[in-house]
Amino acid sequence: MAAETASGYIQHHLQNLTFGQLPTGGWGFAHTAAEAKAMGFWAFHVDTLGWSVALGLIFVLIFRMAAKKATSGQPGALQNFVEVLIEFVDGSVKDTFHGRNPLIAPLALTIFVWVFLMNAIDLVPVDWIPKLAAMISGDHHLVFRAVATTDPNATLGMSLSVFALIIFYSIKVKGIGGFIGELTLHPFGSKNIFLQALLIPVNFLLEFVTLVAKPISLALRLFGNMYAGELVFILIAVMFGSGLLWLSGLGVVLQWAWAVFHILIITLQAFIFMMLSIVYLSMAHEENH
């Protein structure tokens, strides 16, 4: 495969199917990366939205099926799997979350399963889903990314949802005064009221950066790991188009080896996203005196 062809192949696989306002004034799909960028803020990554919603529905349907078939007698394989998963998440919440909130365990379960399913699409060979989308649409140049968590818009959207809950429960538990005090009276304090007043801007700067870093770190950690994993799969796929038999054979070995290792990554990243969300929400429920 020529260098420019390999470069075009990689760029094609890293571009989202973007819908937005075209330079002509109408609305439609972008055909190039530059056109997608020109659409600005009100552009929608249709592939990311479609896959995230579809996998969310699959999660709901599987657990609904397990709930409808649940029995106190001898459970089936699906019920066993769901019960083990729920017990695992429930144990993680009990060990980490120190407040009382019936929302946290269901939220943690949703985050873990949903993020895992979105990550797991990365195990599908990189050409299969884009080629299927191209066949269905009739456009052989169609760009289509199936791994929603390789899109920073998706990971940032999820992390901002968790961040909104952090702010909500911080104010609910501590009150608006307590929340503002947490941002302005820590970590440096003084019994001298004038010195404390001088320390407020310093405290606010430190605490505000810490607060804002939570959703950013959640989003970028998941995005960075999944994007790197997807890029490795794409680079391995480039080897198949080299025209060299030995290089294609090496690509097969590397693809299977990376896929096996990547199973650990997709599970670990879902677990980390869930655990950090629990930790941050636990901190939001702590009353500071």
221 belongs to the catalytic site: yes
Q: Which of 101, 221, 242, 282 is catalytic?
A: 221
Q: Which of 137, 217, 248, 288 is catalytic?
A: 217
Dihedral (C-alpha) 212, 165, 111, 285: value to the nearest 10 degrees? Answer: 90
225 belongs to the catalytic site: yes
3-state secondary structure of 69: coil
| Triad 133, 137, 139: Cα angle to 5° | 95
Q: Which residues pair with 185 in a beta bridge?
A: none
64 belongs to the catalytic site: no
Give the number of other Cβ atoms within 10 Å of residue 176's Cβ.
10
What gap in Å lies between CA 92 and CA 108, rounded to an integer?
9
Q: Which phi-psi region, left, alpha or beta, contains residue 128 (left: φ > 0; alpha: ψ -120 to 50)?
A: alpha
Q: Position 262: which residue type?
A: H
What gap in Å lies between CA 251 and CA 256, rounded to an integer?
9
Q: Which of 225, 242, 277, 282 is catalytic?
A: 225
> Residues 6 or more apart from 149 whose CB is under 8 A from it?
115, 118, 119, 155, 222, 223, 226, 269
What gap in Å lies between CA 266 and CA 107, rounded to an integer?
19
Is 205:186 a contact under the CB 8 Å cutoff? Answer: no
| Triad 167, 168, 174: Cα angle to 5° | 85
Burial per residue of 185-224, b for 16 or more beta-carbon CB atoms within 10 angstroms, e otherwise: beeeeeeeeeeeeebeeebeeebeeebeebbeebbebbbe
> Which active-site residues does the annotation give?
217, 221, 225
